[in-house]
A and B are shown apart, each in its own frame.
Chain A
Amino acid sequence: MIDAGQAISQAHHEEWARVVASLTRRFGDLDIAEDAAAEAFAIAVERWPADGVPPNPGAWLTTTANRKAIDRIRRESKRDGKQKEAQMAYDDDPPEPLGAIEDERLRLIFTCCHPALAMETRMALTLRMVGGLTVAEIARAFLVQETAMGQRITRAKGKIKAARIPYRVPSAEDLPTRVSGVLSVLFLVFNEGYLATGPDTDPVRHELTAEAIRLTRLIRALLPGDGEVAGLLALMLLTEARRSARISATGELVTLVEQDRGSWDRELIAEGHYLVRERLAAGVPPGRYQLLAAINAVHTYARTVSETDWSQVVALYNQLAQLDPSPIVALNRAIAVAELDGPEVALAIVDRLDGKLAGYHAYHATRADLLRRLGRSQDSRTAYDAAIALAGNTAETAYLTRRRDQLA
Chain B
Amino acid sequence: MQYLVSVIDDRTNSATSDERAAVDAFNEQAQADGYWVFAGGLAAPSAATVVDNRDGNAVMTDGPFLESKEYLAGFWVFEAPDFDVALRLATDGSKACNRRVEVRPFL
Q: Which residues of A contact B (CB under 8 A)?
A: 115-116, 162-166, 170, 174
- Among A115, A116, A163, the one with the most B-chain Cβ atoms within 10 Å of its Cβ is A163
Of residues 61 through 107 on chain B, the ones whose CB sits less than 8 Å from some CB of chain A are 82-84, 87, 103-105
Residue of A at shortest CB range from B80?
Answer: A164
Q: How far is the CA of A116 from the CA of B105 in the complex (A)?
A: 13
Q: How far is the CB of A377 from chain B (nearest CB, A)?
A: 50
Asked if residues A166 and B105 are in contact (CB atoms below 8 Å), the reply is no
Q: How far is the CB of A168 from chain B (nearest CB, A)?
A: 8
Given contacts A163-B105, A164-B1, contact A116 B82 (CB under 8 A): no
Q: How far is the CB of A170 from chain B (nearest CB, A)?
A: 7
Residue of A115, A162, A170 touching B105 (CB-CB under 8 A)? A162
Q: How far is the CB of B33 from chain A (nearest CB, A)?
A: 15
Inside 8 A of B105's CB, which chain A residues have their CB?
162-164
Q: How far is the CA of A116 from the CA of B103 in the complex (A)?
A: 10
Residues of A contacting B: mostly: loop
Q: How far is the CA of A386 from the CA of B105 in the complex (A)?
A: 47
Inside 8 A of B83's CB, which chain A residues have their CB?
116, 163-166
- Among B82, B84, B103, B104, the one with the most A-chain Cβ atoms within 10 Å of its Cβ is B84
Q: How far is the CA of A116 from the CA of B87 in the complex (A)?
A: 9
Residue of A at shortest CB range from B3?
Answer: A163
Q: How far is the CB of A108 from chain B (nearest CB, A)?
A: 15
Q: How far is the CA of A170 from the CA of B1 in the complex (A)?
A: 19
Q: How far is the CB of B95 from chain A (nearest CB, A)?
A: 16
- A-contact 0/1 string along B21-64, CB 8 Å cutoff: 00000000000000000000000000000000000000000000
Inside 8 A of B103's CB, which chain A residues have their CB?
116, 163
21 residue pairs A–B, Cβ–Cβ below 8 Å: A115-B87, A116-B83, A116-B87, A116-B103, A162-B105, A163-B83, A163-B103, A163-B104, A163-B105, A164-B1, A164-B82, A164-B83, A164-B105, A165-B82, A165-B83, A165-B84, A166-B82, A166-B83, A166-B84, A170-B84, A174-B84
Inside 8 A of B87's CB, which chain A residues have their CB?
115-116
Inside 8 A of A116's CB, which chain B residues have their CB?
83, 87, 103
Q: How far is the CA of A163 from the CA of B3 in the complex (A)?
A: 9
Residue of B at shortest CB range from A170?
Answer: B84
Q: How far is the CB of B55 from chain A (nearest CB, A)?
A: 32
Q: How far is the CA of A165 from the CA of B3 in the complex (A)?
A: 12
Q: How far is the CB of B103 from chain A (nearest CB, A)?
A: 8
Q: How far is the CB of B105 from chain A (nearest CB, A)?
A: 5
Inside 8 A of A115's CB, which chain B residues have their CB?
87
Q: How far is the CA of A174 from the CA of B82 in the complex (A)?
A: 15
Inside 8 A of A163's CB, which chain B residues have their CB?
83, 103-105
Inside 8 A of A174's CB, which chain B residues have their CB?
84
